[in-house]
Amino acid sequence: MDTILATEDLTKEFLGFTAVSGVSLNVRRGSIHGLIGPNGAGKTTCFNLLTKFLQPTRGSIRFDGRDITGMKPAEVARLGLVRSFQISAVFPHLTVLENVRVALQRARGRSFDFWRSDKVLGQYDARARALLEDVGLHTHAHLLAGELPYGRKRALEIATTLALDPVMMLLDEPTAGMTHEDVDRIVALVRRVAQGRTVLMVEHNLRVVEGLCDTITVLTRGRVLAEGDYAGVSRNPEVVAAYLGT
Ligand code: ADP
């Protein structure tokens, strides 16, 4: 198997409480891999460890052939392992197009400068418009980001992540709080952005997980409970019990 991301014995303790415990995760290059589990299972902590927002207490992480365990978040992002941030990363008073232009400018390592915005950001226009087309937001380019409906904001957030040209995207509950229609749109979008990339996603909606994920890792209480395709893990009695809280 061509593994792009591998953790070994990944462990995080908070003041003696073990939130993630001995997790060995292998994500296949080009796959959509789901990380699921009940609340408190350690999914967010795992994401924070992978993107280096937290340092592990123990264990190692390899990405694309390199040991990234000791790296800083910006270094990991430069290697192409990029997390899609929550909506807080979208600037509500800029237009949709401006948000993507700013993301492109930051991706090139330029500091963001409102002062010169028109002149400097103009050069990113064509690429920004192409990214908006990719996520189906081209007709919304001149709306203020703050005025977008929730589902569209998530699409914008994905566009700003794509601006970093990720090799692998970590998506944190991309369909959380969405209407049915928005869920279908995001599912189609994730499938599209996953082409030529690897995606690791935390997702609560099991219908979405079933429809999208090639491989699923189930966490409970910080540990891997099961791993496999949807049919396999959903039939696993331990997984069923963990979800039903029995
Ligand atoms: P999930 O995302 O699966 O709901 P989390 O990774 O957020 O789970 O949390 C796993 C466990 O670790 C929870 O019991 C949570 O309370 C605990 N935890 C997470 N972050 C911290 C922290 N900074 N300090 C102490 N405990 C934490």
Residue 65 has pLDDT above 60, yes or no: yes
Nearest-10 crossing angle of helices 150-162, 96-107: 30
Q: Long-range pairs for 127-135 at CB < 8 Å and ≥24 separation? A: 127/163, 128/97, 128/100, 128/101, 128/104, 128/163, 129/97, 131/100, 131/104, 131/159, 131/162, 131/163, 132/96, 132/97, 132/100, 132/159, 134/159, 134/162, 134/192, 134/193, 135/159, 135/162, 135/189, 135/193
Per-residue confidence band for 123, with pLDDT thresholds at 50, 70 and 90: confident
Over residues 12-44, the pLDDT tens digits come to: 999 989 999 999 999 999 999 999 999 999 999
37 lines ligand 1 (CB under 6 A): yes
Give pLDDT, residue 109.
67
Residue 51 has pLDDT above 90, yes or no: yes
Nearest atom, ligand 1, residue 15 CA: 25
Q: Is the CB of 175 under 6 A from ligand 1?
A: no
Mean of the per-residue pLDDT values of the chain: 90
Residue nearest to atom 25 of ligand 1 (CA): 14
Q: How confident is the model at residue 115 (pLDDT cuts 50, 70, 90)?
A: low
CA of 90 to the centre of ligand 1 (A): 25
pLDDT at 26: 97
Locate 64 and state its tokens.
Answer: 């694309």
| Cβ 17 under 6 angstroms from ligand 1 | yes
pLDDT band with cut points at 50, 70 and 90 for residue 120: low
How confident is the model over 207-239, as pLDDT tens digits? Answer: 999 999 999 999 999 999 999 999 999 999 999
Please give the Cα distance from 145 to 205 (Å, whole number): 26
Residue 198, ligand 1, Cβ within 6 A? no
pLDDT(112) > 60: no
pLDDT in tens, 192-210: 999 999 999 999 999 999 9
Percent of the chain with pLDDT over 90: 74
Task: Specify the range with the lowest mean pLDDT, choosing from 112-116, 178-182, 214-218.
Answer: 112-116
Q: Is ligand 1 within 6 A of the CB of residue 50? A: no
pLDDT category at 242 given cuts 50, 70, 90 is confident
41 Cβ closer than 6 Å to some ligand 1 atom: yes
Res. 107 pLDDT band, cuts 50 70 90: confident
Q: List Cα–Cα distances, 191 to 16, 19, 211, in angstroms.
A: 39, 30, 10
pTM, rounded to two decimals: 0.91
Respond yes or no on whether ipTM tops 0.90.
yes
Residue to probe by mutation, ligand 1, list 44, 171, 203, 224, most atoms within 8 Å of CB? 44
Range of lowest pLDDT (83-87, 146-150, 151-155, 221-225): 83-87
- pLDDT of amino acid 124: 83
Predicted confidence (pLDDT) at residue 95 exceeds the cutoff of 90: yes
Structure tokens at 4: 């792009």
In the chain, the domains with their CATH numbers are 1-80+167-246 (3.40.50.300), 89-165 (no CATH)
Of 14-23, 120-129, 180-189, give the range with the top mean pLDDT. Answer: 14-23
Q: What's the pLDDT score for residue 178? A: 86
**Residue closest by Cα to atom 23 of ligand 1:** 14
